[in-house]
Structure 1
Amino acid sequence: MVAQHALKAVLVDLSGTLHVEDSAVPGMQEALKRLRSAPVMIWFVTNTMKECKRDLLERLTKMGFDIAENEIFTSLTAIRNLLEQKQVQPLLLVDKKALPDFTGIATDDPIHAVVIRLSPEHFHYKMMNEAFWEVSLSL
């Protein structure tokens, strides 16, 4: 006899599943409404690194999705959680649109970590040299 397990949660990827850039995938608002009627927890996941959760949520809302901010888990969320868990002060080399997700994280001296995300304006020799210098001073 095979044991049956009830589905308890669903992870829904955002980009390419619910939306592509600023356009909703046709029918996904209705599909999400149907999924919400099921007795499961729903989390929305994405590896986006170019915008903060608040801006992402605003875009999704404009596309007609009913999603709460605490239901979204991004790569920036994972980074922030790790920084808080390890209690380190990072040098943040991230796009300025991503910075709100790090509000409240101490970034003053000493720097214990360097966070590098999609941020071409920070990815140059002078900034990399500063990052390695800061980290070497804290060792």
Structure 2
Amino acid sequence: MKALLIDLEGTLYFKNRPITGAKEAIAHVKDLGIPLRFLTNTDSKTPKDMEKKLQQMGFDITEAEIFTPVTAMLRFFQKQDSKNGYFLVSSALQKVVAPYAVEQTSADYVVVGDFRDQMNYQVLNKAFQHIMAGAEIIALQKGKYFIRENGYNLDTGSFVQMLEYASNKEAYVLGKPSKQYFSLALDELGVTAEETAVVGDDQTTDILGAEGVGATGILVKTGKYAEVNGSQVKVEPNKVIDSISQLPLILKDI
């Protein structure tokens, strides 16, 4: 393998606590000189915010190594010609999306992320009105739920599906497991999918995304895997390991 794409939540940490051996495993891989990107579907924070969180946990991971749906969204809009959007995103992202945002005038896109700190009927209905007026739906990701210390919580995909159902439109997905998301991360590293392994705890995002681009998929039995007990299998991984701590031991075999 010439590069690794490694999931964050559920793989390096879970319920805001580092997984045993994760910090040491990442340090070992970095010592080997293998290029890395850390992938996440977290869509409420900027990569800089994620860097701060990871470093507080003790991980030696920088903003430049973190690839999020927010990264993909900004690249998407930077490539558009004078396109704008109505954004259902967190307060932490309001400044980031401001150059592309509209409120009352017609929007080209309705972008749906984690907006639980901004959510009410009015903003949801305004998004729906933009869609019915012709705006396309962009989902930062389509996860159904996430797991925290308080248990299961509704994720972005639940609200995306509501808008899809009401409007009879299908959302364009920027986050995992979309092929575009993984392709952008591979482009950053300058490697092909065949030279890359994707490591994660979620078969429906990490392993499915790996298969979609032709990369090797390595499933860890932590995070979501441990919670759902492997019952939501969508695609078979190439390898299964107990946790990220075992990754350095199998690198020579993949």
TM-score of the aligned structures, taking structure 1 as reference length: 0.78
Alignment RMSD, CA only?
2.4
Match of 1:111 among 96, 101, 107: 107
> What secondary structure is seen at the aligned counterpart in 2 of 1:114?
strand
**Aligned pairs for 1:29-44 within 5 A:** 29-44=23-38
What amino acid sits opposite 1:80 in the alignment?
L
- Tell me the equivalent position of 1:46: 40
Partners of 1:28 and 1:62 lie apart in 2 by 14
Contact 1:52 1:100 in 2 (8 A): no
| Alignment-derived partner of residue 128 in structure 1 | 128
Give the Cα separation in 2 of the matches to 1:39 and 1:61.
20
User: Quick one: structure 1 residues 65 and 72, their matched pair in 2 at CA, closer, same or farther if it must change by over 3 Å?
Assistant: same
CA apart distance, 1:113: 1.4
CA drift at 1:100 = 4.7
Match of 1:61 among 43, 51, 55: 55
Q: Mark the runs of 5 or more structure 2 residues left unpaired by the alignment.
A: 137-254
Inter-partner Cα distance in structure 2 for 1:101 and 1:19 = 26
SS of the residue 1:91 aligns to: strand
One-letter code aligned to 1:98:
L
SS in 2 for 1:62: helix
Query: How far apart in 1 are the matches of 2:107 and 2:124?
Result: 19
- Structure 1 residue 69: Cα displacement: 0.4
Name the residue aligned to 1:9.
3
Match of 1:89 in 2: 84
**CA offsets per residue over residues 78-131 of structure 1, 9 Å max, x none?**
12211111232211111212335436x332466321111222405532442255
1:13-24 aligned within 5 A: 13-24=7-18
Instruction: State the AA in 2 paired with 1:39.
Output: G
- Aligned-partner Cα distance in 1 for 2:113–2:5: 23
Q: CA deviation at 1:32?
A: 0.7
Compute the displacement of 1:72 (Å): 0.5
Distance 1:75 1:124 in 2: 20
Deviation at 1:68, TM superposition (A): 1.1
| Richer in helix (by share) | 2
Match among 37, 62, 71 for residue 65 of structure 2: 71
- 1:98 equivalent to 2:93? Answer yes
Summarize the Cα distance change of 1:101–1:14 in structure 2 as closer, same or farther, 3 Å threshold.
Answer: farther
1: CA distance, partners of 2:7 / 2:126: 36
State, as a whole percentage, how many aligned pairs show the same letter.
26
Are the structure 2 counterparts of residues 98 and 19 from structure 1 closer, same or farther at C-alpha, using a change threshold of 3 Å? farther
Structure 1: segments with no counterpart, 5+ residues: 1-6
